[in-house]
Structure 1
Amino acid sequence: MKKALTVILAVLFVFLMTDAASAKSYPGKKVLYIDSYHQGYGWSDGIEKGVKQGLEGTGVELKVFRMDTKRNTSDEFLKQAAQKAKAEIEAFKPDVVITADDNAAKAVIVPFYKDSSLPFVFCGLNWDASRYGFPTKNITGMVEIAPVKELLEHLKPYAKGNRLGVLGPDVETNRTEAAAYKKTLGLQFEEYFCKDVADFKKGFLELQGKVDMILIDSDGGLYNNAAEELKAFFLSNTKVPTGTCYDFMTPYAFMGFTKLAEEQGMWSAGAALKILDGTAPSAIPVAKNKEGSLIINTKIGKAIGAQIPFAMLQSAAQVIE
């Protein structure tokens, strides 16, 4: 498949660049990876996989710390998780810290390590890192840009109009994403932020009565226990074209044009190795993710009566049948 080959080659290029940067060994060097969320959340797992691939064979000792703030959303829990992360840094004494997503940035880096001597590489910050005052002399990273426009271009031929809806759990990341769709991309849409699985279903049904397409945002792994229930629900109840920018959400959507979490992790590992080589974080420009992957769910496509061209199926990186 041409598209799949393009994606594979692009990811391979990132890997080879990282591998080239890590041709020498770094015995005794340590990297701490702080995950804002939890194991089992697809996006976080993908970043961690990329970090591990990027550091594999380098001799770097990697340690993972998970804050688990997606499933525990109170301010008090975030403060406690940040203190535990700080204690882990002080005990492990890493040479570089890699962080994923917003909570590690705002609750760990900003209050304790901004403009310090300890190098940090962030990733998974949606759209813009300047809200945290990044980059600084000791901080660089990769921001996360959702390929929404590309996704909508794939959905529009199957929609009856241009009215757009956005659906997702009521968490900070999803609200940040929605604000960026409006501010950065100039999109207008109906939005529904849900509080639980039942509300997720309710919001989906309500939006379908108001819009021509629905963008399904990340569930943050919060609804993993209801995955089979939700697959059946979306298959039975989808009436308009739906899409997502997250590969782990494609069982619920007609199409996905998805970000590659591994790209974030591998870039971060490569940046960490450059820092270990003596490059200052301030000399490493903040990057944006570039790669995307087309995924087509033919089950839902059939349910809405979509006639999918064979050429598109051939070009997809994955077809869910």
Structure 2
Amino acid sequence: MVNVPTIKLNNGKEIPQVGFGLWKVTEDTATVVYEAIKVGYRLFDGAFDYGNEKEAGAGIKRALDEGIVKREELTIVSKLWNTFHEKERVEPITRQQLEWWGIDYFDIFYMHFPVALQYVDPKDSYPSGWKNLEDKIVQSKATIQETWQEMERLVDIGLAKTIGVSNFQGALLMDLLRYARIRPAILQVEIHPYLSQEPLVEYAKMEGIAVTAYSSFGPQSFVELKWDKAVECPQLFVHPVVTAIAAKHGKTPAQVLLRWSTQRGICVIPKVTMKERMIENLESVTFDLAPEELKAICTLNLNLRFNNPPDYLGSLHIFA
């Protein structure tokens, strides 16, 4: 089993640097999670919006029941969706998500996006998505401060050990840090060679905030969604810069892309369902890239964001 490095957070807790992303794991989710635990994964990154928390929890329970792993050895991650940002909504939906997972607390709980939308009852629509029951995008008046203070209370009452934010940019982090009683421990954002976000990563680290990258393979994560931007973009797995470095080290392009992040102190959460690829991703920490190789991959930056709400919603210019 691969000895995966850990990252120490600003609250003293440590998390694995390579975790398992649950976005788009929609078939045999329980088995996928169970098998991932067996090969060595200890961090599982979920969310209300992924619609598979109950199934993921079943995989966790199976592994716990069989004694493969102990609960305290796992880092279970979930996120507060946009439709639950009002202060009276935060605790109830967190408790519901914990019930789906079959656990008593989340190790990490993120604010999924810095945008508050009109409440939609999960009984009427699950997962809620971005639109209300009338198929409209309607923002609520909940502020980030209001939502964050309720997330802090989740820590106070033991429903979350660590809280963080996702899809925040620098100015919003600055604002949050002005009033945060509990500082965010982690920032989760889209990072890959086409969107390196180096200034944001530098700022987060300066503030003692760890960074987790999602969509580490760039367009690959979005091709199956048939998004034009991803389909038309040169795939990183066959980019000559990446393939040349992979060949030099006797590694796969996927391993090079993951190591490009982890070697710079960033956590990664790649999604995969095949056992051999699960192991391959974990083994991405077993070699080092040369400084000039890290730099060469950084030069591929195009500031090209794939998870950009206006592209698939026509509104909500979060990253404008």
TM-score, length of structure 2 as denominator length? 0.31
More strand per residue: 1 or 2? Answer: 1
Q: Which has the higher contact order (CA 8 A, sep 6+)?
A: 1
TM-score, length of structure 1 as denominator length? 0.31
Pair member with larger Rg: 1
